[in-house]
Amino acid sequence: MRVKSEAGKQPLPGASVTVSPLNKGTSTDSTGLAVLTGLPDGAFQVEISFVGYSAVQKRLTLPVTKIIEVELEEAEGEDNPNIIVTATRTDRSIRNTPTRVEVIAGGEISENVSMRPGEIKMLLNETTGLITQQTSAVSNTANLRIQELEGRYTQVLRDGFPLYSGLSEGLSLVQIAPLDLKQVEIIKGSSSTLFGGGAIAGLINLVSKTPTEKRDLSFLANATSAGGFDLSGFYGQRFKNIGVTVFGSRNSGKAYDPSSTGFTAIPKFERYTITPRLFYYGNKTNLNAGVNFITEERLGGNMDYIKNNNAGYFEKNNSVRFTTQVGITHQINTHVSLNFKNSYNHFGRLTTIPSYQFDGLQQSSFSELSINAGENNLQWVGGVNLYTDKFSEVLHSNHPLRNYNYNTVGSFVQNTWSPTDKFSLESGLRGDYTSPYGFVLLPRVSALFRFSNRFTSRIGGGLGYKLPTIFTEESEERQFQNILPIDQNSAQYEKSIGANVDFTYSTSLDELKLSINPLFFYTRINHPLVLSSQGMQKAFVNVDGYTDSKGMDLSFRLTLDDIKFYTGYSYTIAQNHFGGQTATYPLAPKHKLHFDLVYEVDGSLRIALETYYTSQQQLADGSTGRSYWLTGALIEKSWKHFSLFINGEDLNNVKQTDWGAIYSGPITIPRFKDLYAPLEGRIINGGVKIKL
């Protein structure tokens, strides 16, 4: 059997070819050829899959007398069960992955590009069980929460590389543009076994576009009623053994105060991004290498200070990010491949408020050597990795420096066993030695039960951990002022245990497709790191007790011809259990509801209507935030080479400032309250996309 791409008719080396009923499988060689021997005569179902392409199933009658040609098309569409995922390290389709993975792809990413072309905050916030928590009332910084647990417990990756933790956490969601994303993979629950520490609540893997034989050249221009302006472009193409992608953007915004509070709901900012990547495809060895450069100046605070340079409160965030990524895959034979990955991250950030500056540089690196072996019914992945994380602070006052230097050496092994097409088991074990916090052992297991073609279930669980740093939502809210360094002699890493079970029922009748997916989850963090007062200053200490999050996510998807309807509901109870007392976890709404109705004629017209509901939530000061509804709408008309779009967010103009002041004290030295609802209110944006 020879496997090729449908678009360019190019061979696809490393594609999986599996005869599930016989537990037989192999991979294609550099010419796209797969040879299976020792098969009995008869008719069998064969599945062919490759990362980034939709898997296909083909019924073959053996023996065959000639080479069978199979063409795969690129995976598109968020409801495609054959999308190949990489976050589990096995490159399987969602349908055949024991670990529960949610994927944002195709139309959802395209829709978000039209709504927020300069950031991914809205893209993630629309996913059931995820919420973006704003950490500054005037700078619009934000962290990502999974199942209501604080943002530091979520690991964000780029193509499997840990690039967005620590000092950059509050800025990453508002600095990453979606135009060069192919898909976003989400795993909820403890996942540190997969890529190391940090994934206590779960992980997000941002998967970049890769070159295709058909040229991909696109541009976007967007403007908003709040004074925002976005320009971005992407180019990708493969030329036989060489491929290239380039992404660049300029994003800017004016200071915006829709409620006349005197403070910015959206800060003044200007950001530039450039990301070139080079790909090499050899007979047995593939290589990709790239760099990413982002520089941004962000200024929020008193409008009079920003516009007229008069005295007033302000927050300046000047940041520079430079990262490198290298990946090499060598195919030893049809069943074994050797992989090497390396990344380096350089992130500098200067935060300035009146009478205080926080100035630091985080340098981190990740190196991994791994081996993939086996057939599709029995796959092994094992490897070793080194992760370094160094933070250096520039002294601007007599405050103690918050420097640290962590080194983590880890090894892992993972097995995926599929004895029948009705059952798959994925188990893994990781051991990390962290300096200076010692050794941690992390087991993980997931199982897939396919009761029928319509009804499946997954159950899984594992351990996670997080090294202590000062980079949390609470520190961001204080611009790191009066935060003491971590006491490495008394602090210990946070460790968690989590489990989840889900059920999926899917059916179709002609053009009608229905999918229902409830997920039940529980995560517990033992001896969590909390901020404790020590006089005028605050220090992070491990408390006696635990934090837990439990509940249910429910997804309902209905498709009829060109109409798609989606409903997502989250029910979450997050609590702190400290010193024998139980308290509600701050800023964790118990109920969230999302409705999304889309009418889409492929390549011609898209109309989308969205509604969100967020219930009341406990605030840190003991008060309760109000419940609220948000609505939005998008219209996009497309032609062969360009499209025009107009989008409205928060059309009912909900703002937290309408329900009371968001700060106390004088306007020159404000003390901001917890943020649980939007500040910017109704915003209209529109623009043009060009595809050549």
Residue % of the chain over a pLDDT of 90: 75
User: Is pLDDT at 9 greater than 70 in this prediction?
Assistant: no
| Alpha carbons 577 and 583: distance in angstroms, whole number | 7
Q: What is the pLDDT of residue 6?
A: 67
- Distances in whole angstroms, Cα of residue 283 to Cα of each of 11, 286, 332, 660: 11, 8, 11, 65
Please report which helix (H) or strand (E) contains residue 193, including its range: helix 192-195
Name, of 34-48, 71-85, 248-262, the range with top average pLDDT.
248-262
Q: Read off the pLDDT of each residue in 224-245 and give the average, rounded to a whole number.
A: 96
The answer to pTM > 0.85 is yes
User: Is pLDDT at 330 greater than 80 in this prediction?
Assistant: yes
| Alpha carbons 111 and 449: distance in angstroms, whole number | 33
| Alpha carbons 533 and 490: distance in angstroms, whole number | 16
Q: Read off the pLDDT of each residue in 150-167 and give the average, rounded to a whole number.
A: 92
Q: Give the CB-side neighbour count of residue 422, counting CA atoms within 13 A.
A: 2
What pairs with residue 636 in β-bridges? 606, 645
Q: What is the pLDDT of residue 44?
A: 72
Q: Read off the pLDDT of each residue in 145-163 and give the average, rounded to a whole number.
A: 93
User: Is pLDDT at 76 greater than 80 in this prediction?
Assistant: no
DSSP string, 480-533: TTTBPPP-TTT---EEEEEEEEEEEEEEEETTEEEEEEEEEEEEEEES-EEEEE
Q: What is the pLDDT of residue 564?
A: 94
Phi, psi of 552 (to 5 degrees): -145, 140
- In this predicted model, which residue has the larger pLDDT, 77 or 58? 58
DSSP string, 553-599: EEEEEEEETTEEEEEEEEEEEEEEEETTEEEEPTT--SEEEEEEEEE
> Does residue 5 come out as left (phi exceeding 0), alpha (psi in the -120 to 50 range) or beta?
beta
Residue % of the chain over a pLDDT of 70: 96
User: Is pLDDT at 50 greater than 80 in this prediction?
Assistant: no
Q: Which two tokens stand for residue 446?
A: 């997931």
Max intra-chain CA distance, the chain:
85
- Distances in whole angstroms, Cα of residue 294 to Cα of each of 297, 319, 361, 498: 10, 8, 15, 35
Q: For residue 21, give the 3-state DSSP assignment.
A: helix
pLDDT tens-digit readout, 663-678: 999 999 999 999 999 9
Residue 21's pLDDT band (cuts 50, 70, 90): low
Residue 33's pLDDT band (cuts 50, 70, 90): confident
Residue 465 has a CB neighbour count (10 Å cut-off) of 24
Q: Are 637 and 687 in contact (CB under 8 A)?
A: no
DSSP string, 77-120: -TT-TT-EE-TTSS-EEGGG-SS--EEEETHHHHHHHHH-TT-S
- In this predicted model, which residue has the larger pLDDT, 84 or 53? 84
Q: Are 188 and 519 in contact (CB under 8 A)?
A: yes
User: Is pLDDT at 104 greater than 70 in this prediction?
Assistant: yes
Task: Please report where in the chains the tokens 């103690």 appear, as a residue.
Answer: 400
Q: Which two tokens stand for residue 628?
A: 């609220």
Point out the least confidently predicted range of 47-56, 96-105, 466-475: 47-56
pLDDT tens-digit readout, 366-385: 999 999 998 778 999 999 99
Of 459, 442, 462, the C-alpha closest to 450 is 459
Q: What is the pLDDT of residue 78?
A: 46
Q: Are 185 and 199 in contact (CB under 8 A)?
A: no
Q: Read off the pLDDT of each residue in 82-102 and give the average, rounded to a whole number.
A: 83
Point out the least confidently predicted range of 188-197, 449-458, 564-573: 188-197
Q: Read off the pLDDT of each residue in 116-143 and give the average, rounded to a whole number.
A: 92
| Alpha carbons 129 and 388: distance in angstroms, whole number | 31
User: Is pLDDT at 127 greater than 80 in this prediction?
Assistant: yes
Name, of 1-5, 103-107, 452-456, the range with top average pLDDT.
452-456
User: Is pLDDT at 8 greater than 80 in this prediction?
Assistant: no
Q: Are 314 and 353 in contact (CB under 8 A)?
A: yes
Q: For residue 403, give the 3-state DSSP assignment.
A: coil
Q: Read off the pLDDT of each residue in 498-523 and give the average, rounded to a whole number.
A: 94
User: Is pLDDT at 79 greater than 60 in this prediction?
Assistant: no
Q: What is the pLDDT of residue 52?
A: 54
User: Is pLDDT at 396 greater than 80 in this prediction?
Assistant: yes
Q: Read off the pLDDT of each residue in 235-264 and give the average, rounded to a whole number.
A: 96
Q: Read off the pLDDT of each residue in 432-439 and give the average, rounded to a whole number.
A: 94
Q: Read off the pLDDT of each residue in 561-572 and give the average, rounded to a whole number.
A: 95
pLDDT tens-digit readout, 598-655: 999 988 999 999 999 999 999 988 899 999 999 999 999 999 999 999 999 999 999 9
Q: What is the pLDDT of residue 62?
A: 76
Point out the least confidently predicted range of 8-17, 155-164, 290-299, 608-617: 8-17
DSSP string, 621-687: TS-EEPPEEEEEEEEEEE-SSEEEEEEEESTT---GGGGS-SEES-TTS-EEPPP-S-SS--EEEEE
